[in-house]
Amino acid sequence: MVRLELIVLVALQILLVKSFPADVLIQNADNSEAKAMNEDLDDLINEVPNTENSNRMEETFDNVSEETDQGYESEHNEESFAGVDEDAEREGGEYKEEENLGNSHVIEGDIYVDKSTTNILGALQNGVARDAITNAVRLWPRGRVPYVFGRVSSRVKSAFRQAIAEYNRYSCIRVVPRTSEKDYIYVVSEGGCWSFIGKRGDRQKLSLGRGCEYKGIAVHELMHALGFYHEQSRLDRDNYITIHWNNIKSGRDYNFRKYSHGQADTLNEPYDYGSIMHYPRKAFTRNGKETIVPKRSGVTIGQRRGLSRIDIRQLNKLYKCGDVVVPTRPPTKPAGPCVDESSGCKRWAKARYCVEGRFINYMRKKCKKSCGLCKGTVIPKCFDLKSSCPRWAKSGFCTSKYTTYMNKNCPKSCKKC
């Protein structure tokens, strides 16, 4: 088997060399300098065509710490309070309401309805209330919400507990493990992400199904359970967004209705593009085009990372939390211990991926300990991606027909930065 692999490798080398024009190969092989240049060219030839394997390796790196990334990247940052478009939600805050399209008991993407909820919605359409439902929906006494986990994955539990921490940090709401309470939330994974509105009584389901196991989505569903509808359902929404009805999936336009009257129920807070309760631009699109377009330029909608400042103020007003400090700027995650985020970091560092190759940025972000970047190490802005770059540059390849490749992979040696 080993012999066969060697034969294949030799054959590939011959094919690669033959694929380059003869005028590229260095003549006078007896000359020592020419020999060295031929060796350099050989190395370079072996590098240039090898993009397929390179791309495959890059995919491996991108996927290597998926579970860690999803939990880690979903922490607050500036986007949490500015509004994050659905296209930017790769790190764990994705809009998932359309996962529930096959559920006949779900409206507006993730609101579970029964007979009682249907009666409430009828009242809303007749002008009783809106955003935070102060009369038609029952609130949780003293903001205390007991919960129990059903048969759910560890990722669901982690996402829900991260959401609890968000409420504990920014409100007087306390979501606590159930002891003997009659009314409580029962966290399940029953297909999609959905919740009832407000306290329903007895055991009340909240679903975080497959694809919904993220902190931001758990925060969103808990907001429903605490008594909030979607932001774009506000009576005054037409002053802030435009609904493109022609782009909405057939039979799904009811998801975009707005509720009549109820100025008090907005809790005197302005329209919030950055609310965790807002639909994204392409919610329920039938053709890939936008169904919701903000009238204010430069804003993004549909973030599922965490509570916005206005979300926090509304929540605290609704539950009469009193003097709760609302952040005036995004909270930042305190600096933690210097650790690697993947078990493969040490191995990759030994293979020099910290200092060369296509994965330098990944390594410097996810493998700080193994790359020795924990003690204020200055990361150079100008560096080569290949250890052979100095040799290739000395052989004159920066100005040869390999200029494009060299400029991209050897900017330091070619003095391009």
Q: For 115, phi and psi rounded to 5 degrees? A: -60, -40
pLDDT for the residue 86 = 33
What region does 284 belong to: left with phi over 0, alpha with psi -120 to 50, or beta? left
The pLDDT value recorded for residue 326 is 58
Can you tell me which residue has the tokens 């330091």?
412
- Is 221 noted as a catalytic residue in this protein? yes
What is the C-alpha to C-alpha distance for residues 212 and 99, in angstroms, rounded to an integer?
Answer: 9
Binding residues for Zn(2+): 220, 224, 230
Cα 350 from Cα 254, distance rounded (Å): 57
What one-character DSSP code corresponds to residue 272? -
Regions in the chain scoring below 70 on pLDDT: 1-137, 260-265, 323-337, 355-358, 375-383
Q: Provide the residue ranges of all domains of the chain, joining segments of one domain with +.
A: 106-226, 332-379, 381-416
The reported pLDDT for the residue numbered 10 is 46
Angle at 169 (CA atoms; ends 163, 173), nearest 5 degrees: 75
pLDDT digits (tens, 9 = 90+) for 271-304: 999 999 999 999 999 999 999 999 999 898 999 9
266: Cβ contacts below 8 Å, ≥ 6 apart: 130, 131, 132, 234, 236, 314
- Residue numbering of the annotated binding site: 220, 224, 230
CA 225, distance to chain mean position in Å, is: 23
| Annotated catalytic residue, options 86, 98, 166, 221 | 221
Q: Encoding tokens for residue 405?
A: 């490749």
**How far apart, in whole angstroms, are the C-alpha atoms of residue 214 and residue 158?**
8
Just give the CATH number of 106-226.
Answer: 3.40.390.10
